[in-house]
Amino acid sequence: MTNSDSYPTGLGSSDERTISLLGQSLAEDMMGRVGFGELALWMLNQRRPNASEVRIFEAVLVALADHGFTPTAIVSRLTLLSAPDSIQGAMAAGLLGGGSRFLGVTEDTGRFLHRALVQAPLHPTTENEWDEIALRLIQDAKRDKLYIPGLGHPVHKEVDPRTPVLMDLCREEGLYGDHLSLFAAIGRVHAPVLGRQLPLNGAGVCGAALCDLGIPVEVLRGVSLLARSAGLLGQIAEELRNPIGMDIYLHVEHGARYEPSPFQADQPFESKD
């Protein structure tokens, strides 16, 4: 094989007798010795994380794994109802719903904070300096009629219980970096500008924490989907044991009523006979 026929990778490869992953023997060095969260972070950054980094990363995975009967969970259960022979279809249906309202907020917040830090003229060193940058961001967003990702939650109106816990964990582990500092500042200064106090949501704080772990913003949503995969698998397993998908379907079906749209009302049916 020539160099032009090779495909370099720092991840994994295998031959007839061995499987290598991240430069280690998968069977001899990793199985039973490396946890899944550690492995995922190791593969993302292609360097072995320390114990503090693993603790924060796994806390993020736990925080994002499941949030009850969200649209992603419901669609997975209904897909399983429709195609009980397709576990992969049910999983995929839930993952495809990871967007700007659910799951995608982690990526959106990380991108927002990262962009603001890159554009900041100076690196803040005090809480007041962080507050000044955050205040400008909020004022600009209000002027441009843009929302601040990670600010507010449809259920947790006062405090998202995940946010203070993850922030405290990051402080304990010495991993409270610039992204979390800016996110916390947004929480402190937004109310006078927006006219109301909103909570910093858990998905947003996860995005900030992941950025402080050095994870590229381009793959942040992938981390959310990795976490939610566990939640969706749990939803599917419960649906198999104690199904509610048919009840959800019938509830919506029995509540449906026909209302002609304005377009239909203006276009009476004409026989072609």
Q: 246-256: per-residue pLDDT in tens?
A: 999 999 999 99
* Confidence label for 7 from pLDDT (cuts 50, 70 and 90): confident
* Confidence label for 125 from pLDDT (cuts 50, 70 and 90): confident
Q: 196-230: per-residue pLDDT in tens?
A: 999 999 999 999 999 999 999 999 999 999 999 99
Measured distance CA(267)–CA(132) in Å, rounded: 58
Domain spans, the chain:
104-216
Provide the whole-model pTM.
Answer: 0.89
Q: 162-173: per-residue pLDDT in tens?
A: 999 999 999 999
Q: 67-108: per-residue pLDDT in tens?
A: 889 899 999 999 999 999 999 999 999 999 887 777 788 999
Measured distance CA(26)–CA(239) in Å, rounded: 34
Give the 3-state secondary structure of residue 114: helix
The pLDDT value given to residue 267: 62
Percent share of the chain, pLDDT over 70: 95
- CA 233 vs. chain centroid, Å, equals 16
Residue 20: φ, ψ to 5°: -110, 140
Residues in the chain: 273
The pLDDT value given to residue 272: 59
The pLDDT value given to residue 103: 77
Question: In whole numbers, what is the pLDDT of the chain averaged over residues?
Answer: 91
* Confidence label for 259 from pLDDT (cuts 50, 70 and 90): confident
Residue 3: φ, ψ to 5°: -60, -30
Among the four given CATH numbers 1.20.910.10, 1.10.230.10, 1.10.1060.10, 3.40.50.720, the one describing domain 104-216: 1.10.230.10
The pLDDT value given to residue 222: 94
The pLDDT value given to residue 265: 58
Q: 22-41: per-residue pLDDT in tens?
A: 999 999 999 999 999 999 99
Secondary-structure breakdown of the chain: helix, strand, coil percentages, each rounded to the nearest 5: 60, 5, 35
pLDDT at 156 over 80: no
Residues in contact with 104: Cβ distance below 8 Å, sequence separation at least 6, in sequence order: 98, 221, 224
Q: Using CA of residue 198, residue 220, residue 228, residue 247, what is the dihedral sign?
A: positive
Average pLDDT over every residue of 125-131: 92
The pLDDT value given to residue 102: 77
Q: Is the Cβ–Cβ distance between 234 and 221 less than 8 Å? A: no
